[in-house]
Amino acid sequence: MIYKLGDVAIMNKAVVIEQLKNIPLPQQRVEIVERKGLGHPDNMCDAIMDQISVKLSQEYLKKFGVILHHNIDKALLAAGEVKHEFGGGHVIKPMRLIIGDRATSRYGDEVIPVDEIAIQTAKDWLKAKIRGIDPTKHVEYQIELKEGSEELKDIFHKNEGILVANDTSAAVGYAPLTYTEKTVLSLERYLNSRQFKNQFPETGEDVKVMGHRNGQSLNMIVAMPMLDSYMDSEATYFRKKNEVLETIQTFVANELVDDSPTLDLSFNTLDREGKGISGLYLSTLGTSAESADSGQVGRGNRANGLITLNRPVSSEAAAGKNPVSHVGKIYSLLSHKIANEIYTTFKDDIEEAYIWLLSKIGQPIDKPELAAAEIIMKEGKELSSISEQVNELIESSFQNIDELCNDLALGRYPVA
């Protein structure tokens, strides 16, 4: 995205507020949005690693009153092997979940059972979220969590309120979501909702939704496996598939508003009638990690749950990073939070808000190296009319950053 420099107001040393002379995304011709769902291998890695961070944070707080150094943001879910069969396939080789990076396992004379916490948390998540997986039979676990460097660990030992950043990192957030973005997000959440799975228990959790808009034409491509234990024949598969497709179309149609794009929706487009099992998107456990696809932290959704090709994004993976010092997580969530607050407050004046945040390692997380707001104003509106209030919102967000960190430590903000 090319930004043309507009009105700029520097409110203090670290905050820059700029008016963009850009075309708002909904008015641009082409838009592409993706969401990897609950059972997608990449999303599974993100969600499990972040839950391990939450559990470790709670253990540290319970024992020591502080959150100690950890970053559980490196993971690989290596695909297993299954044999699909009508009436129910079977697992030949289990998946392997490799959990890595850094975690404090000793504080003073106290030992923290980091490996045990990580494995049990992964098992609990898998049991709760992926119905077909038995976490003791279908997954093997390899823990590669080591102690961090003394310099980084020392940040957490000082216990002086707001901590300093343990990385030099940048993040960006934006608001509002476009119609395409909201539709992709809500559709995946619906397909993995309890309501939908109760109605269609034969569908797996490995959902992927790709939306692309060309002018006023929106195309939604959905991939979601059908569980082979519910299928006794190819004919049954296609009958069930059509029922699911009709329900998806009804759901999206109910989301439409008067000025929505026209919709074309497709489902499991690799299927081929007449080829038997080889022509069907079947799953035994509900996720392609059973045999077809591996997963990795950072390859899934961004911090707001979407992969948006038309938007600026950070290279940071928020999932699993510690919630009190790693700005790759904190600023990723905070940038979207600030952008939403600005848009909600001034939606009569602005089209879009983009927030950029930059940290400097060793500098307190409530004192960013740079905070920049890039705002597309509505026709006839001027940045000068809201710049002071925008600056106040940004500064207020940093003054209350400890509340966000606390919420992250408790797992109140999903990052996958």
Rounded CA separation 104/147 (Å): 5
Rounded CA separation 367/359 (Å): 8
Domain locations along the chain: 8-26+167-177+306-409, 41-157, 179-296
Question: Which residues have C-beta within 8 Å of that of residue 60, sequence separation ≥ 6?
Answer: 66, 67, 68, 104, 107, 112
Q: Is 216 exposed, middle or buried (0-12, 13-18, 19+ CB in 10 A)?
A: exposed
Identical fold for domains 8-26+167-177+306-409 and 41-157, yes or no, is yes
Average pLDDT over residues 387-398: 94
Q: What is the pLDDT of residues 38-59, one digit of tens each?
A: 999 999 999 999 999 999 999 9
Q: Is 352 exposed, middle or buried (0-12, 13-18, 19+ CB in 10 A)?
A: buried
Look at residue 402 and give its three-state secondary structure.
helix
Of the given ranges (61-70, 124-133, 146-155, 263-272), which has the lowest mean pLDDT? 146-155
211 closest CA partner among 187, 189, 190? 187
Of the given ranges (8-17, 169-178, 248-257, 402-411), which has the lowest mean pLDDT? 8-17
Question: Which residues have C-beta within 8 Å of that of residue 323, sequence separation ≥ 6?
Answer: 53, 54, 57, 67, 329, 330, 405, 408, 409
Q: What is the pLDDT of residues 59-110, one digit of tens each?
A: 999 999 999 999 999 999 999 999 999 999 999 999 999 999 999 999 988 9
The DSSP secondary-structure symbol of 379 reads: T
Distance of CA 338 to the CA centre of its chain: 17
Query: 220: part of which helix (H) or strand (E)?
Result: strand 217-223
Architecture of domain 41-157: 2-Layer Sandwich (3.30)
Instruction: Mention the CATH class of domain 8-26+167-177+306-409.
Output: alpha beta
Topology, domain 179-296: GMP Synthetase; Chain A, domain 3 (3.30.300)
The residue assigned the tokens 């490196």 is 74
Rounded CA separation 184/181 (Å): 5
Averaged pLDDT score across all residues of the chain = 92
Q: Where are the alpha helices (DSSP H) in 192-224?
A: 194-199
Q: What is the pLDDT of residues 138-168, one digit of tens each?
A: 999 999 999 877 766 666 766 567 889 989 9
Sign of CA dihedral 295, 300, 303, 305: negative
Q: Decide: 347 and 403 in contact? Cβ < 8 Å.
A: no
